[in-house]
Amino acid sequence: MNRDRPPAISPALTPIAPDALKRLVDDYRPWRKFRYLANELKVDPELAWSAVKQQRGLLWQAIPVRQVDGTPFGFTQSPQLGRVLYLIDRSSGDELLRTVGAGQATLPLRKRLHALFSKGEYVPSRLMARTIMGEAAESSIMEGANTTRAHAIEMLREGRAPRSPGERMIVNNYQAMQFIKQNLTRPLTLSTLLELHTILTEGTLDSARDSGRLRDETDNIRITDSRDDTVIFVPPPASTVRERLDEVLAFANSDLLNPFMHPVLAASALHFFLGYVHPFVDGNGRTARMLFYWQTLRHGYGIFEYLSISEHIRKGFARYPQAYVDTELDGGDLTYFLLYKLDIIEQCLASLSTHLKQEEEQAKNVQSLGSLTRDLHDRQSSLLVLCANKPDVRITVKSHANSNGVSLPTARADLEDLVSRKHFAKLARGKEVIYQPTPSLLRKLARAQRDKP
């Protein structure tokens, strides 16, 4: 972890060539990277730093949440923030996912979303279910759950009870995602935050008493770099946690209008603040990421129901704590963390676009089955495609319900209808009923695959 502290700001500024200054201002780098760019541009790094900090100060917006030294956090309204925010705004909103005007339909992701979602509730429901399960798995794996994403999602689909602390963590994350969606209209209070932490950590901590309680002076919390055990962050004193949380909760519940702060930036800042205050003995990261979802969804950014943030944080994990450190070292400049988080979101949007292409292929595969899918619901048609690709598949009411984001009665009706059509057969496995494709369905599927143009 790079903890090179920026130099002191020089009050007397030496003029810098306009082109070099523009490059240094536009490329919003922390000191650890800034100095290399300055050398590349043949500018004295420390003098250039002072000049750039002065420029950043002109666009500085303070946030009423304080650092340990009492000064407020803030961010620079850098043009770099605007590009990804524009993409997010074009991809989301309360009803934008279903109502697309001519001006909005030019965004490729937007067009793809509209084309798929206009076919009914099936694709949105399945994508939401996929995201909730994927986020639960990725967030837990990042926190140390000893499993794979595929294994975790399989457990959630089947509704199987967890068999280890790692699996319990995954189920907890899954339940927490549902909890925040049920509480979008409620203000974030301390009791709600403690309830969320309890849901996330129950049965996963070394001491059960640490679930749903704030840390105190007896808890010696240090954040270390796992590579060499060096201390990279010491949270604020436990005696100040309640006071600091009051500021964080007030920020979380504000209308963001005076002064205006984009809701996605506010959600990213809320993520940072919970991690910075570190109010719990463990589970702070999980809780912080949940609050990010709560803030974006409550402000109408429905696109985040289809994005797994933790997946991309985990894939480049070293950047995550470094973004915290860069902010801490540079006087609480949240711009570094905001830019990092927007980069993660942009990666998520790209992944969603890729998955939507797969959904389009799925729709084509359903069409290729011809009369076999006549009068079937989209959920049932997709089961037939699954059987064509995986003839030995075994399906339960729970797995079908969880995969598609529907109720158990709806899932059971889907499967029983396929049994009545002689597409599926039922067999008992203990107390559970298993549905599997019949030999006659598999022969028809194979014939349809051969006859496909």
| 387 membership: H or E segment, kind and range | helix 378-389
- Residue range 371-450, CATH number: 1.10.10.10
Asked whether the beta carbons of 447 and 411 are under 8 A apart, the reply is no
- Residue with structure tokens 């950590």? 201
Mean pLDDT, residues 82-99 taken together: 68
* pLDDT at 48 > cutoff 80: yes
Report H helices in 316-377. 319-329, 335-368
Task: Return the number of other C-beta atoms located less than 10 Å from residue 39's C-beta.
Answer: 12
Kindly list the domain boundaries of the chain, sorted by start residue.
1-58, 75-354, 371-450
More confident residue, 3 or 246: 246
Structure tokens at 418: 């396929």
pLDDT per residue as tens digits for the range 91-134: 764 443 443 333 344 456 666 666 666 555 556 677 777 788 88
Dihedral-angle region of residue 283 (phi above 0 means left; psi in -120 to 50 means alpha; beta otherwise): left
Question: Cα–Cα distances in Å, from 68 out to 234, 237, 394?
Answer: 10, 9, 55
Mean pLDDT, residues 316-331 taken together: 93
Q: How confident is the model at residue 354 (pLDDT cuts 50, 70, 90)?
A: confident
Asked whether the beta carbons of 180 and 190 are under 8 A apart, the reply is no
Chain-centre distance for alpha carbon 383: 28
DSSP E strands in 14-82: the ranges are 60-66, 72-76
What's the pLDDT at 105? 40
Alpha-carbon gap, residue 384 to 371, rounded angstroms: 12
The architecture (CATH level 2) of 75-354 comes to Orthogonal Bundle (1.10)
Give SS3 for 429.
strand
Alpha-carbon gap, residue 118 to 331, rounded angstroms: 48
Single pTM value for the model: 0.83
Asked whether the beta carbons of 137 and 156 are under 8 A apart, the reply is yes
* Cis? peptide before 259, omega within 30° of 0: yes
Alpha-carbon gap, residue 201 to 193, rounded angstroms: 12
Alpha-carbon gap, residue 132 to 202, rounded angstroms: 19
Q: How confident is the model at residue 450 (pLDDT cuts 50, 70, 90)?
A: confident
Going 109 to 111 to 114 to 115, the CA torsion angle's sign is negative
Percent of the chain whose pLDDT exceeds 70: 91
Amino acid residing at 377: H
Chain-centre distance for alpha carbon 86: 18
What's the pLDDT at 97? 43
More confident residue, 437 or 155: 437
Alpha-carbon gap, residue 289 to 292, rounded angstroms: 5
Q: How confident is the model at residue 378 (pLDDT cuts 50, 70, 90)?
A: confident
Burial of 165 (0-12, 13-18, 19+ CB in 10 A): middle
Asked whether the beta carbons of 297 and 184 are under 8 A apart, the reply is yes
The mean-pLDDT minimum among 83-87, 250-254, 368-372 falls in 368-372
- Residue with structure tokens 């000049």? 51
The mean-pLDDT minimum among 35-39, 98-102, 346-350, 447-451 falls in 98-102
Average pLDDT, the chain: 87
Q: How is 4-32 classified by DSSP, letter by letter?
A: PPPPPPPSSPPP--HHHHHHHHHS---HH
Alpha-carbon gap, residue 87 to 83, rounded angstroms: 7
Percent of the chain whose pLDDT exceeds 90: 53
Report H helices in 189-283. 190-201, 241-253, 263-277
